[in-house]
Chains A and B, each alone.
Chain A
Amino acid sequence: MTISRRRFLQVGGAVVAATVGCDRLPDSVLELYSRGEPELDPFQPPASGSMDLVAHALNRLSFGARPGDYTRIRHLAPVPDAAFEAYLDEQFRPRDIDDSIAERAVRRFESLNAPAGELFEYKEDFLLGEMTSAALLRAALSERQLYEVMVQFWTDHFNIDSSKGDCRWLKAADDRLVVREHALGKFPDLVRASALSPAMLWYLDGRVNRVAGDSGGGPNENYARELLELHTLGVQGGYTQKDVMEVARALTGWIVRAKKESTFRLGSVEFAAALHDDGTKVVLGHTIPAGQGPRDLFHVLEIVSLHPSTAQHIATKLCRRFIADEPPLAATRAVARAFLESDGDIRVTLRALFGRSEFVASRGNKFKRPFNYVVSALRATGARTDAGAQLTDFLLRMGHAPYQYPTPDGYPEEASPWLGTLLWRWNFAVALTENRIAGTHVDVPGLTRAAGGDVGLMSHMLGRKPTSAELAAYAGSGAGLALILASPAFQMA
């Protein structure tokens, strides 16, 4: 890589240099800036007055359209519907997609690949910072967009707040080995990985769930309840308090080496037979015989992972994410069927969902959550970013910083809890387009040129041609790009 400091400053890095010091700039920032201010290639924005299926898919299945995305996908086939199918085929095979740019951008975060035990060598704030920046960069830069969208979905579904106990260190391993490993895989594998994730054992107290005995204690129902209520069957899933207690008994004895109590094999998960209740259990009518030790856990997961209530619960949540806050029952039932028939194959389940007429018809009706809003803005504007603290601060201000949701239900998917975040969205829109966020840079004139002018730029941002009201507001605002980012339509996906 060759870049002179002068050239670096010329291309808009001055703000970065001022905050982190030029000598200490992380490589990937240099790398991003070193491409200088390459003129964006001219691209063809959507030309229809309403969103076509390709624009819809970019909104819903990805974190938003970048300059040129629409053109590329639209040309995968002669008509939009076939192009959409081709895009799905591509996105369902993430490993076949070259993702070197995103991979290079997160390479500097060494903690992302550290084994669980080594994570304890990092300062916890540093780890959270790396995880947060990586989440932003992957969402913004990855070509495997549907995969990243599902990573976000499962991160919420199996929520772990990284501020609890040793989750400060262990969430990073959970992200890699549970969520990212299985995001487009098989649901039963995902549940199993999560059940034995040291971070989850910490977060929902599974590590202190032990047989009642001399040492006092007794089963801790926390994980058992959330496993049934949130991770699998759903609150209306037909289980009883007795089932929760029986599941808790079956899961006794799984412990984690904790930082406070141990210095070696930190974060490792072990089965302590002496702490396990090895008696007979009955879960949802299935008998788990006595004497099975650690196999009890796998037995419980077999009972619940592919239960019809689980299928309906997961299908409803997926439809809420991809169709509407109040998803139609016909769609959730069909998706649940696909889930069951495929033994919880997440790809097959999603394929069924994206083929539903309700999905096709539900354009622009989902309110972007703050993280998705910020990332979609970065993508739409072709921003270059180091995803540093200046940027992640906006997520905190909007209450949607990754890995920081306190309770096990995960950040809400529906619009209403997020409607109070508009002020910070508008602030962000203005700061981004005025290049006032250190470490993040947008080339507004270049973007406008590449889109073929103001109307093209608006069409690109909105996934359709602007209305006359939007045209007038754009012209009258004195800051057209920021206005579009702040407009009602851009809040929706």
Chain B
Amino acid sequence: MSATSGFISGNADESRSLVVVFLRGGADGLALVPPLGDDDYQKARPRLRVTEREGVKLDGFFGLHPHLKPLQPLYAEGQLAVVTGAGSEDTSRSHFEAQDLMEHGGTAGGGWLGRFLRYRPATNEGKKPQNSALSAIAVGKELPECLRGAPAASVMQSIDEFSLGAGAARFSSQLQKLYAAEENDLGAAGRDTLDALRRIEQLRKTPYSTASGAVYADDDFAQGLRQIARLIKARVGLEAASIDLGGWDSHFTQSTLIDPLMLRLGAGLAAFTRDMGRWMDSTTVVVMTEFGRRLVENASFGTDHGRASVMFVLGGGVRGGQVLGRWPGLQSGVLDGPGDLPVTTNYRNVLAPILRRHGMGDDMRLVFPRFLVEPINLYT
């Protein structure tokens, strides 16, 4: 690699990638990771509950929904940690308000991921604050709020969008000559960009074959993860990727709505992890949602907007194989507002240690202003 590869990957010496999966609509943490051993849970959800027999055992108390079974081996191998009682301080129970607050990291300008990308270099002595064109991508059609304010953020559905067109080869060889003659930062940036272009062109030409027999399903979520895996492995400088899995707003006939989503979530993450193999050492996947659902199911086989849900953290160094966070129980005195699982771990306290691992310095206020971060013990 060239001496100036810092232009391509802001963290070139130790390239790490963070993948943020947002479950839009308020995913029911009590369905994803049911407290199998809690009688109050079993009583409150006579029709929607996951029984002790059905649940995929995690730790003797919590289990996974059977549709998330593909995650069980990752948990058992210690790659996956579950955080129970996770959520934000927002009590509006409004999708917009709660997503907005969570993605902005408080009432602040820009998104937490965008601010992280912008300020991470400045918090590291001696590192230049450059970011590559591909340092941040959002898989989908629009930029999520969490990436607002990023130094460069690309919304994409496929790497084909990065092409310089039909005459790319001729065109870039001429650019090569002009930038080679520039003996300044611009010249170095140009040469690094040409290097990234070559890798992307290489990618486009080579059919992608997944590793270890991993198979991605045809749904958008799995295909998006596949694109992300491909870019990470091609080392184009991808530092952060965002991908949504929407449709969790299960007021009505919850299981018909979220059963397929859970299947996609579990299978997608399992395929990604398998495909990535050792690359997972330098990758973190975090799964979050704006809020959970009310404990008591409603009359139409659904659940209404609640407070705490769960987060999943998957990747290198994670103290996996554990359910982190405090379980307060479900007695009526414990429940929040109209009967919701209270938030015992603020989502920022889960993200902060992840951002530290991804190169953020001490000053976490740049990412989470006006919040005293108390990071959970996510890493060994």
Which residues of A pack against B, CB within 8 Å? 160-161, 163-165, 167, 203, 367, 393, 396-399, 404-407, 415-417, 419-424, 426-427, 430-431, 434, 469-470, 472-474, 476-479, 482-483, 486-488, 491-492
8 Å CB contacts to A: which residues of B208-265?
A: none
A430–B162 Cα gap in the complex (Å)? 11
Decide if B196 is an interface residue (CB 8 Å cutoff): yes
Q: Contact at A486–B175, with CB atoms within 8 Å?
A: yes
Q: Contact at A397–B110, with CB atoms within 8 Å?
A: no
Q: Contact at B109–A407, with CB atoms within 8 Å?
A: yes
What residue of chain A has the Cβ atom nearest to residue B181's Cβ? A469
What residue of chain B has the Cβ atom nearest to residue A365's Cβ? B184
A17–B107 Cα gap in the complex (Å)? 40
Q: Contact at A477–B171, with CB atoms within 8 Å?
A: yes
Q: Contact at B153–A406, with CB atoms within 8 Å?
A: no
Q: B1-13, CB under 8 A of A: which get 1 and which 0?
A: 0000001100000
Q: Contact at A488–B179, with CB atoms within 8 Å?
A: yes
Residue from the list B128, B151, B167 in contact with A399, Cβ < 8 A: B151
Residues of B within 8 A of A405 (CB): 109-110, 149
The 3 closest A-B pairs by CB, nearest first: A406-B110, A161-B109, A423-B133
Known: A399-B153, A406-B114. A164 touches B170 (CB 8 A): no
Pick 17 A–B contacts, CB within 8 A, sort by A: A367-B186, A397-B154, A399-B150, A406-B110, A406-B111, A407-B115, A420-B130, A420-B132, A422-B189, A422-B190, A427-B162, A430-B164, A430-B171, A469-B178, A477-B167, A477-B174, A488-B179
Decide if B118 is an interface residue (CB 8 Å cutoff): yes
Apart from A163-B110, A477-B174, A488-B178, what 19 extra A-B contacts exist at CB < 8 Å?
A: A163-B148, A203-B109, A396-B153, A397-B152, A397-B153, A399-B152, A417-B129, A420-B133, A420-B135, A423-B133, A426-B164, A426-B175, A469-B181, A479-B170, A486-B175, A487-B175, A488-B181, A488-B182, A492-B186
A194–B132 Cα gap in the complex (Å)? 35
A421–B196 Cα gap in the complex (Å)? 12
Main secondary structure of the interface of A (DSSP, over half): helix
Q: Contact at B171–A419, with CB atoms within 8 Å?
A: no
Known: A367-B186, A406-B149, A479-B167. A164 touches B133 (CB 8 A): no
A488–B145 Cα gap in the complex (Å)? 33
What residue of chain A has the Cβ atom nearest to residue B156's Cβ? A397
8 Å CB contacts to A: which residues of B156-187?
A: 162, 164-165, 167, 170-171, 173-175, 177-179, 181-182, 185-187
Q: Contact at A488–B152, with CB atoms within 8 Å?
A: no
What residue of chain A has the Cβ atom nearest to residue B189's Cβ? A419
Q: B117-135, CB under 8 A of A: which get 1 and which 0?
A: 0100000000011111111
- Give the Cβ gap from A430 to chain B, nearest Cβ, in Å: 5
A368–B162 Cα gap in the complex (Å)? 22
- Give the Cβ gap from B178 to chain A, nearest Cβ, in Å: 5
Q: Contact at A423–B162, with CB atoms within 8 Å?
A: yes
Residues of A within 8 A of B185 (CB): 415-416, 419
- Give the Cβ gap from A355 to chain B, nearest Cβ, in Å: 28
Which residues of B pack against A, CB within 8 Å? 7-8, 104, 107-111, 114-115, 118, 128-135, 143, 145, 148-155, 162, 164-165, 167, 170-171, 173-175, 177-179, 181-182, 185-190, 193, 196-197
Residues of B within 8 A of A160 (CB): 109
Known: A396-B143, A406-B114. A164 touches B152 (CB 8 A): no
Residue from the list B109, B151, B173, B193 in contact with A417, Cβ < 8 A: B151
Q: Contact at A163–B109, with CB atoms within 8 Å?
A: yes
Q: Contact at B151–A470, with CB atoms within 8 Å?
A: no
Q: Contact at A424–B152, with CB atoms within 8 Å?
A: yes
A458–B120 Cα gap in the complex (Å)? 40
A477–B111 Cα gap in the complex (Å)? 40
A308–B148 Cα gap in the complex (Å)? 36
- Give the Cβ gap from A293 to chain B, nearest Cβ, in Å: 28
Residues of A within 8 A of B177 (CB): 469, 472-473
Residues of B within 8 A of A478 (CB): 167, 170-171
What residue of chain B has the Cβ atom nearest to residue A473's Cβ? B174
- Give the Cβ gap from B106 to chain A, nearest Cβ, in Å: 10
Residues of A within 8 A of B190 (CB): 422, 488
A474–B7 Cα gap in the complex (Å)? 26
What residue of chain B has the Cβ atom nearest to residue A159's Cβ? B109
Residues of B within 8 A of A417 (CB): 118, 129-131, 151
A479–B170 Cα gap in the complex (Å)? 9
Q: Contact at B153–A393, with CB atoms within 8 Å?
A: no
Residues of A within 8 A of B110 (CB): 161, 163, 404-407
What residue of chain B has the Cβ atom nearest to residue A492's Cβ? B186
A420–B135 Cα gap in the complex (Å)? 9
Q: Contact at A420–B149, with CB atoms within 8 Å?
A: no
Residues of B within 8 A of A416 (CB): 128-130, 185
Residues of A within 8 A of B114 (CB): 406
Residues of A within 8 A of B130 (CB): 416-417, 419-420
- Give the Cβ gap from B8 to chain A, nearest Cβ, in Å: 8
Q: Contact at A423–B193, with CB atoms within 8 Å?
A: yes
Known: A422-B193, A423-B133, A488-B182. A406 touches B175 (CB 8 A): no
A470–B131 Cα gap in the complex (Å)? 28
- Give the Cβ gap from B127 to chain A, nearest Cβ, in Å: 11
- Give the Cβ gap from A153 to chain B, nearest Cβ, in Å: 19
- Give the Cβ gap from B36 to chain A, nearest Cβ, in Å: 40
What residue of chain B has the Cβ atom nearest to residue A434's Cβ? B165
Residue from the list B118, B153, B165, B196 in contact with A423, Cβ < 8 A: B196
Q: Which of B132, B151, B155 has the most CB of A within 10 A?
A: B151
A163–B152 Cα gap in the complex (Å)? 17
A77–B343 Cα gap in the complex (Å)? 72
Residues of B within 8 A of A396 (CB): 143, 153, 155
Residue from the list B145, B165, B171 in contact with A163, Cβ < 8 A: B145
Residues of A within 8 A of B188 (CB): 419
A160–B177 Cα gap in the complex (Å)? 41
- Give the Cβ gap from A474 to chain B, nearest Cβ, in Å: 8
- Give the Cβ gap from A398 to chain B, nearest Cβ, in Å: 6
Residues of B within 8 A of A476 (CB): 170, 173-174
Residue from the list B8, B118, B187, B193 in contact with A426, Cβ < 8 A: B193
Residue from the list B109, B131, B155, B193 in contact with A397, Cβ < 8 A: B155
Known: A163-B145, A473-B174, A488-B186. A406 touches B109 (CB 8 A): yes
- Give the Cβ gap from A341 to chain B, nearest Cβ, in Å: 36
